[in-house]
Chains A and B, each alone.
Chain A
Amino acid sequence: MKHVKTLTGAVLNNSLKKGGCGECQTSCQSACKTSCTVGNQTCENSN
Chain B
Amino acid sequence: MIHQYKMKDMNIVLDINSGAVHIVDNMLYDIIEKLEIGQSLLEISQSMANVYIEEDIDEAFEEVNKLIQEKQLFTSNRYHSVVDTFKQRETVVKALCLHIAHDCNLSCGYCFAEEGEYHGDRSMMSLEVGREAVDFLLNNSGSRKNLEIDFFGGEPLMNFDVVKGIVEYAKNKEAEYHKNFRFTITTNGVLLTDEIIHFINENMYNVVLSIDGRKEVHDLMRPTPNGKGSYDLILPKLLQVAESRNQKNYYVRGTFTHNNLDFANDVLHLADLGFKQISVEPVVAPDNRAYALKEEDLPTLFEQYDYLAEKMLHYREEGKEFNFFHFMIDLKQGPCVSKRMTGCGAGSEYLAVTPEGDLYPCHQFVGIEDKKMGSVYGGLKRMDIQAEFKACNLFSKEACTSCWAKFYCGGGCNANAYNFFGDIHQVYPMACELEKKRVECAIYLKARETFRI
Contacts and interface: CB of A to CB of B under 8 A. Distances in A.
B325 interface: yes
B242 to A, nearest CB: 14
B343 A42 contact: no
Interface string A1-23: 11111111111110110111111
Task: For chain B, give the interface size range.
Answer: 35 or more
B168 interface: no
B270 interface: no
Given A22-B94, A23-B144, A29-B184, A36 B20 contact: no
Interface in B55-114: 59-60, 63, 66-67, 70-72, 75, 78-79, 82, 92, 94-95, 97
A44 B19 contact: no
A10 B408 contact: no
B435 interface: yes
Interface stretch (B42-50, B296-304, B379-387, B442-450): B442-450
B150 interface: yes
A10 B72 contact: yes
A42 B330 contact: yes
Contacts of B196: none
B123 to A, nearest CB: 20
Given A4-B28, A13-B18, A26-B148, A46 B333 contact: yes
Contacts of B72: 6, 9-10
Given A19-B336, A39-B409, A40-B328, A8 B20 contact: yes
B59 A3 contact: yes
Interface string B168-212: 000000000000001010100000000000000000001010000
B279 A32 contact: yes
The majority secondary structure among interface residues of chain B is mixed
A11 B144 CA distance: 24
Contacts of A4: 22-25, 28, 63, 67
B345 interface: yes
Nearest to B363: A33
B206 A8 contact: no
Nearest to A42: B330
B390 to A, nearest CB: 13
A20 B330 contact: no
Contacts of B18: 9-13
A27 B211 CA distance: 20
B413 A36 contact: yes
Contact of B409 (A6, A18, A37): A37
12 contacts: A8-B331, A11-B18, A16-B79, A20-B338, A20-B339, A25-B146, A29-B148, A31-B251, A34-B364, A39-B335, A39-B408, A43-B333
Interface of B: 15, 17-25, 27-28, 59-60, 63, 66-67, 70-72, 75, 78-79, 82, 92, 94-95, 97, 144-146, 148, 150, 152, 182, 184, 186, 206, 208, 251, 253, 279, 281-282, 284, 325-326, 328-340, 342-346, 349-350, 362-364, 407-413, 416, 431, 435, 438-439, 442-443, 446-447, 450-451
Interface of A: 1-13, 15-16, 18-46
Across the A-B interface, give the 6 residue pairs with the lowest CB-CB distance, nearest first.
A20-B338, A39-B408, A38-B410, A12-B19, A10-B18, A46-B333
Given A4-B25, A26-B349, 10 more contacts: A4-B28, A7-B447, A11-B18, A27-B344, A31-B253, A31-B279, A33-B208, A35-B435, A37-B408, A42-B333
